[in-house]
Chains A and B, each alone.
Chain A
Amino acid sequence: MIQKLSLLLSVLILFFTSCEKSSNSDIIVNEDVITFFELNASQYIVNPSDSVLTGKYEKFSFSEGDTVSHDNWDVAFRGTTIIVNGGDSYNINQPERIGNAAVYIATGVMLDIRTVDLSKLEQDNTSGPAIVDDLGISGDGWASYDMSTHIISPIAGRILVFRTHDDKYAKMEIVYYYDSPNPDPSNGDYGGYYTFNYVYQSTGEINF
């Protein structure tokens, strides 16, 4: 009887501890990789007449590990668009760029990206962002669009490698784009929420 009770107890403990994992707080998966949950970049409006987007970009700082409102941001999100604090603005409502941030998309799993290929880093420019933003139609960006389910998903094996606004480095993997890990837009799940794993190299070294 006691054995049975303790078994039940351990199952319950296991259940509750595993539930904690999915709560909406920042948790450390291992020493380096940090997960940020559901950054809200959904504050935008589409003008129905010309399909032009307006609205707020949500800024993120790797060193602070959080969204920020000041100008020392590294990366900012609005809908499916990702911009960096470096280069030139190409669209309205973009936050001011004062830094030297740049980015490229590497292929692999998070652990495999061990070093930054400086030659690939690009900044935003007046014709568009460094990270292709086409709603996942070309497959060159970070996301893909499923025509049958209308779900936008981050493409597996795409790692975003950043130079931050102050010449440090970081790598990031976006893991889902909705306010639910298993989105069902027909059920009210909303897009524009970024959950991502990242590793920040605060020393300025290019190796992770």
Chain B
Amino acid sequence: MLSSYFSFSQNQKGTIVFDRDLQEVTISATKTSKLIDDLPIPVTIITEKEIQEFSASKLYDVITKQTGIVSVTTKTGTEGLQLQGLDASYTTILIDGFPVIGRSFGTLDLNRISVGDIERIEVIKGPSSSLYGSNALGGVINLISKKQIEDGPIISTSLKHATYNTTSSSLVYKYKEGTFHISNSFDYYKTDGYDLIDTDLLSTVNPYSNYTFRSNLKYALSDKLLLNTNGHYYKQEQINIAADSSSLLKGESNIKEWSLGTSAKYLMNANFFQQLEIYKTNYRADEFLNTEDGVLYENNYFDHTLLQSEMKSSFTYKGLNSILGFGITKEVLSRRDFLNNPEQDLKFIYGQLDATAFNKVNIILGSRYDNYTNYTPVVSNKLALGFSLTNKIQINGSVGTGFKTPDFRQKYFDFTNSTIGYIVLGRDVAIDRLDAMQNVQEVVPFSELSSPLKSETSLNINIGLKYNPVNNLSFDVNLFNNKVNDLIEWKLVAKDENNTNIYSYFNVNQFETKGLEFNSTYTKANNWEIKFGYQLLYAYDSQVLKGIGQDTTYYARDPETLASIKLNKEDYFGLFNRSRHMGDIKFNYHLNDKTEMNTMLTYRSKYAISDSNGNGILDTYDKFIDGYTLCDIGITHQISLLKTCQIGVKNIFGFTNPEFISNITGRLYYMSFKINFK
């Protein structure tokens, strides 16, 4: 049960497999199966055991416990994960290789994605645009569903109950006979939500329930032709309560999502295969609020469809593995506050060479060309080099470029906030709208709005060292640097006749995140295992860092006298929402053959979400949110071969920060049962 992936994969070294059934291989990093140890790119694999250790139901529960990954509330008020200090809009999430959509403000809700039937989560850090295109600038997270190896049926069911009247249950049915494989999973989640601030009428999270149905069908028509179909349906219903200045508003907030993907794989011979994939997915969110009298106060919708078709060929010869793929995607979005329903078409082609020489050097070279209907084409490249110094030491390095196209909101938004009084216009609609307004006062020359927004681009460098002095001890250190250019931000462009501020989107500046990630694992036979992870992070706006104390003077207040003072370079803390230090310790202890205990500590150092002293930058004189530590303890007991029960406490210290951290609940107890029928 305690197989650390290092020992496992070493047995398998030298074999490259295309089947997705073997454990401890990664698919997302190279789009082919590759053993994790051989990969010269920083990848974290979250195993099924790890997913189940603390009885995780949703991706949020497990991903936020990984080193260097944190879920933060972004500027737009939505929550998303941060990877190597990069925002959630730069991360692609895939399920069995197919992208998840539904980013209403650039982020994906991690509580939407269930991990009930997931056997492995791969996290690739650093740009993977050379394989996955836009939005993979910061990284890729791929969830891989469980495959059955033996013939026959498997039925498993689980039931979990936790604080806040949270219930989660799942039912999985799989059947395999020869080359026929069917897998259906259903899970249901329901919670009363929670309230961190008792003094107001609103809840922090309103009650909601959702269910996910996933189905997968595999069939080999012949030795050479494999068919695979994936589908899913998700539905969520939530009570929506908000407060007007004088009264309470009530409504609902619903999400419906489905996807269907099918692929045919033709294996010409042992060295060559071709695969054709077609995928379609739709995400629709509807919400409304009524006044106390039942009159409609506000409604909102968001409807996004993606159609993707891809053809991939792979050729393997001795130490050389190459893939070539091309495809098209088509996206349509319809939402409130858009003047029209924007569409976006993309044609892409990519290729990758993966060569191993002398059993010691591994080179991966990849390139992708994306041609959008309405942007300049983008080429993304990646070069990765791995070198085994000895059997115990491997040095890895990779350089890659990534990009993110402006999203639909940044192009087509037409939003008026009447309560605070401001207007936000997408870049493509701004000029027409401004021309139609009376007495508009220019703040930025309107000619600056006439050129289209450029894609954000990035350059990433990772340098890593893996050291396994002995089989049960490993060290892994990785230095990273991400530079993102042409960051898109909104800024004031004009004021209308009522002095209302009008904003639009611009490619403004450049930022940089750099740091170090360190991971170490020590396994003591079958008794216990300890894992340690740490991330050091510096994240800066490049212009601010360059200009501070030289071209630009920033001021702050002396905390004692409250008088203004000038800031130095050392006073600049960096970007908002980034903690300098993050760390975690995981301890797994086997009480006996059937019972194990897991303890996990995660720490995040201080950070700030806004500029409290009005100088536009985050400096050491700003107000920070204190660092915090969370501790989870869980016990797993194997009642019999097919029955397991779990009991545990999350956030045992009961840490909360109602004012600034809405996603951390108080102490949480849970209990779950799982039964397999064979």
Contacts and interface: CB of A to CB of B under 8 A. Distances in A.
Interface stretch (B133-141, B429-437, B612-620): B612-620
B501 A137 contact: yes
Interface in B431-463: none
A149 B612 contact: yes
Of the candidates A134, A139, A156, the one having the most CB atoms from chain B within 10 angstroms of its own CB is A156
B492 interface: yes
A109 B554 CA distance: 10
Interface residues of B, number: 27
B562 A176 contact: yes
The 7 closest A-B pairs by CB, nearest first: A157-B555, A144-B614, A156-B555, A175-B562, A155-B614, A156-B564, A109-B564
Nearest to A153: B614
Contacts of A151: 612
Given A109-B563, A156-B556, 10 more contacts: A48-B245, A109-B566, A136-B614, A149-B623, A154-B614, A155-B555, A155-B615, A156-B564, A156-B565, A175-B557
B391 interface: no
B492 A156 contact: no
A110 B245 CA distance: 40
A148 interface: yes
B610 A148 contact: yes
A148 B563 CA distance: 24
Given A137-B501, A138-B501, A175-B557, A153 B563 contact: no
Contacts of B307: none
A188 to B, nearest CB: 12
Contact of A173 (B564, B566, B616): B564
Contacts, number: 68
Interface string B555-573: 1110001111110000000
Contacts of B563: 109-110, 173, 175, 197
A179 B609 CA distance: 25
A9 B549 CA distance: 43
B626 to A, nearest CB: 15
Interface in B557-610: 557, 561-566, 609-610
Interface string B466-502: 0000000000000000000000000010000001010
B501 A109 contact: no
15 contacts: A29-B561, A107-B555, A109-B565, A109-B566, A136-B614, A146-B614, A147-B610, A148-B609, A148-B610, A149-B610, A153-B612, A153-B613, A153-B614, A156-B565, A156-B614
A173 B615 CA distance: 15
B7 interface: no
Interface in A139-178: 139, 143-144, 146-149, 151, 153-159, 173, 175-176
A181 interface: yes
A153 B565 CA distance: 15
Given A29-B561, A110-B563, A156-B557, A146 B615 contact: no
Interface string A167-208: 000000101100001000010000000010100000000000
A148 B613 CA distance: 13
Nearest to B619: A156
Interface magnitude class on chain A: 20 to 34
Contacts of A134: 499
Nearest to A156: B555
B553 interface: yes
Main secondary structure of the interface of A (DSSP, over half): loop
Contacts of A108: 553, 564
A146 B564 contact: no
Contacts of B555: 107, 109, 155-157
B355 to A, nearest CB: 51
Given A138-B492, A156-B555, A175-B557, A110 B614 contact: no
A181 B565 contact: no
Interface string B660-675: 1000000000000000
Nearest to B562: A175
Contacts of A146: 610-612, 614
A108 B567 CA distance: 11
Interface in A112-127: none
Nearest to B422: A137
Contacts of B659: 186
Contacts of A153: 612-614
A108 B501 CA distance: 27
Contacts of A176: 562
Nearest to B609: A148
A157 B557 CA distance: 8
Contacts of B616: 139
Contacts of B553: 107-108, 157
Nearest to A184: B659
Contacts of A186: 659
Contacts of A107: 553, 555
B443 to A, nearest CB: 9
A38 B649 CA distance: 49
Interface in A39-56: 48
A48 B419 CA distance: 12
Nearest to B557: A156
Contacts of B492: 138
Contacts of B245: 48
A160 B553 CA distance: 18
A15 to B, nearest CB: 15
B615 A156 contact: yes
Contacts of A144: 614
A151 B501 CA distance: 20
B615 to A, nearest CB: 6
A107 B564 CA distance: 10
A66 B614 CA distance: 28
A143 B612 CA distance: 12
Contacts of A197: 563
A200 to B, nearest CB: 17
B609 A156 contact: no
A147 B610 CA distance: 9
Interface string B514-555: 000000000000000000000000000000000000000111
A125 to B, nearest CB: 15
A36 to B, nearest CB: 13
A134 B615 CA distance: 17
Interface in B195-250: 245
A156 B566 CA distance: 9
Contacts of A136: 614
B502 to A, nearest CB: 12
A109 B553 CA distance: 11
A155 B555 CA distance: 8
Of the candidates A137, A159, A186, the one having the most CB atoms from chain B within 10 angstroms of its own CB is A137
Nearest to B556: A156
Interface in B612-670: 612-616, 623, 659-660
A153 B611 CA distance: 11
Interface string B359-382: 000000000000000000000000
